Amino acid sequence: MTDIECGDAAWNQAVDWLMREHEESLDDAAREALIDWLASPAHRKAYEQARTLWLVTGLVPTSDEQSDPPSDDD
Amino acid sequence: MQDAQILNLYTTHQRDLLSYASSIVGDDGRAEDIAQDAYMRFSTAMSDEWRSNPVGYLFRIVRNLALDCRRRAQFEKALFSHNVDDIVEAIPAEKSAPEQEVMARNELELLQEAMDELPERTRMAVEMHRLGGYKLREIAAHMNISVSMAQYLVKEGIKHCQRRLSSTASA
């Protein structure tokens, strides 16, 4: 079982940060909190990994793009 | 799709793609890099099969690359200003173009497989979030579920993708 990284608390927190950023741009307090969180090398590593995953999941063609034309653009 | 068609499509929209990227990252030089990266990823994804909305897909690639670039730049700046050491270690080394192309192709195939494996509701939530760019409350409204459920589904889906990618990387 290769679930180590997903079970990892740091990875989970990194994804939470990315999801939060997706919802709304972070205010100064939140940004400070994130920078504090990133002070740990383990956290930075988790964040890098999650950020890369975040990017590549956004690059997958949609089912629409593979078959029928979508009704509108995103 | 043939290489010439792919290139033609890209060059037709190049100017708009550049200004779109530039509007997100606020830097023409970075926008150029993003457009080049997008072209590489686009031609990799398009070479195997026809997709019905190639232009929409091309713009989405640019958007995601630009957002990622902006996120990276913000953090590097923030970390430097806070004197966090060993930032360099966190920035991946540049890879050659052929290496990047193979990686991009493998990643895309794996992720497509991983998404196909998701339960219907999870897949819908992940696609709306990551591919459509929708916010959780929009997904919740569309799927008639709570926001916390939408968040749970997206996260479950993302976790599954991570598992699939990391199990291959370590295999």
**Distance of residue A31 Cα from the nearest chain B Cα, in angstroms:** 9
Residues B70, B133, single domain; the answer is: no
Residues B2, B54, single domain; the answer is: yes
**Residues across chain B:** 171
Q: Among residues B91, B117, B150, which one ends one of the domains?
A: B91
- The values of phi and psi at residue A58, to 5°, are -80, -5
- What pLDDT score does A72 carry? 45
The ipTM (two decimal places) reads: 0.82
CB of A53 within 8 A of CB of B126? Answer: no
Residues B10, B72, single domain; the answer is: yes
Residues B54, B121, single domain; the answer is: no
How many Å separate Cα B162 from the centre of its chain? Answer: 14
Check residues A62 and B138 and name the one with the higher pLDDT.
B138
Closest CA to A53 of B155, B47, B153: B155
Residues B103, B163, single domain; the answer is: yes
Report B:131-150 residues touching A (Cβ under 8 A).
Answer: 131-133, 135-136
Indicate which CATH number applies to the domain containing B151: 1.10.10.10
**Distance of residue B36 Cα from the nearest chain A Cα, in angstroms:** 15
Chain A residues with CB under 8 Å of B48 CB are: none
Which of A49, A59, A62 has its CB closest to that of B64?
A59
CB of A5 within 8 A of CB of B166? Answer: yes
Work out the widest C-alpha separation in chain A, in whole angstroms. Answer: 46
Domain residues for the domain of B44 are: 1-91
A48 pLDDT higher than 70: yes
What span, in angstroms and rounded, lies between the C-alpha atoms of A73 and B27? 25
Residues B87, B115, single domain; the answer is: no
Q: Where are the domains of chain A?
A: 9-52
Token match 């916010």: residue? B135
Per-residue pLDDT of chain B in tens (171 residues, 90 and over written 9): 788 889 999 999 999 999 999 999 999 999 999 999 999 999 988 876 667 788 999 999 999 999 999 988 887 877 777 666 555 554 555 667 777 777 777 888 889 999 999 999 999 999 999 999 999 999 999 999 999 999 999 999 999 999 998 876 654
Chain A residues with CB under 8 Å of B49 CB are: 66
